[in-house]
Amino acid sequence: MFFRNESFRDFIRLYPVISGILAINIILWLLMYFPNPIGKLIWIWGVGWNTGIEIGEYWRLVTPIFLHAPNEVTHILFNSFSLILFGPALEQMIGKFKFIFVYLFTGIVGNVFTYFVGINDLHLGASGALYGLLGLFLFMSFFRQDLIDPASRQIVTIITLMGVLMTFIQPGINISAHIFGLIAGLALGPIVLTKAKHYSPNVVYRRRVVRSDGLNYDPNRWDRRRYRPNRNLSSIIWWVVIILAALGILFGII
């Protein structure tokens, strides 16, 4: 469920929502990383600012989900790795629109409680949304075990426990975003998983075409070759991404 065998081109085709979120995050981070007027405006008007929210700038509950610290490469990297780790299975299982809803809702909930707790006046990052995805998997692990295999349940449980523990140990962590994002993901489980499909890492095969002259055309012949696991460099890269994502969660980097 959490292991990738796709090529990068197939990943974009199979998981367009995740690919779009990653693209938005990276583009916004690059604009803020290199000194320029646009990047400065993105920071000024997009960062989570509790004082701004208090005076009615409510968009700041949403925009921080797509922003990352411009002076920390690890922040955007590990958030991206975590989205690649936990996102694909959910996008396929619950569908594109529900995935967008879960991602935004849990991220907003994390920012709302960040505002009410009031510890971090400035905040940004996708940690609330990412912990929301983790919370949804945690709900599966306990209440919808038909949707998740035993090995994946163990991975989710271990990463969640260690991630929550490191949230309270590591300095500079937005505790409210992590904890309430996780709770929001758990709470959405009964709603968004009612019609969830089982995750399948295989390609959705198209129907074989049989022409009137008796010739057959199999549109999936290249897909079979493409999806053989561990046959190319992309498989190694995916494993590196998975390991780094897990480390980022365990050590509170996201």
Question: Where in the sequence numbering do the catalytic residues fall?
Answer: 127, 178
d(CA 151, CA 144): 14
Cβ burial, residue 227 (10 Å; 0-12/13-18/19+): middle
Helix (H, G, I), strand (E, B) or coil at 197: coil
d(CA 17, CA 167): 27
Nearest to 245 by CA among 34, 46, 4: 4
C-beta neighbour count of 235 within 10 angstroms: 16
Written as six digits, the tokens of 67 are 């922003």
Pairing of strands 48-49, 122-123: antiparallel
Helix (H, G, I), strand (E, B) or coil at 115: helix
- Which residue reads 């290249």 in tokens? 222
- Which residue reads 């590196």 in tokens? 240
Helix (H) or strand (E) holding 82: helix 73-94
